[in-house]
Amino acid sequence: MPIWGQLLIVFGGLILALTLIQLLLPIVIKVVIKSRLLPLGFYCLVAWVSTFLTDWTAEHEPLVRLGFYIIAGLTVLSWLVSLAKVILDKRSERDMESYIARQLSIARQLDIQPDKVTISEDGTVLDAETGDPLLEERQ
Q: Helix/strand/coil (H, E, C) string of 42-56? A: HHHHHHHHHHHHCCH
Distance between CA atoms of residues 135 and 139, nearest Å: 12
Does pTM top 0.75 for this prediction? no
Render pLDDT for 19-52 as a digit per residue (tens, 0 to 9). 999 999 999 989 988 888 888 888 888 888 888 8
Among 115, 117, 116, 85, residue whose Cα is nearest residue 100: 117
Render pLDDT for 56-110 as a digit per residue (tens, 0 to 9). 888 888 998 999 999 999 999 999 999 999 999 999 999 988 888 887 787 788 7
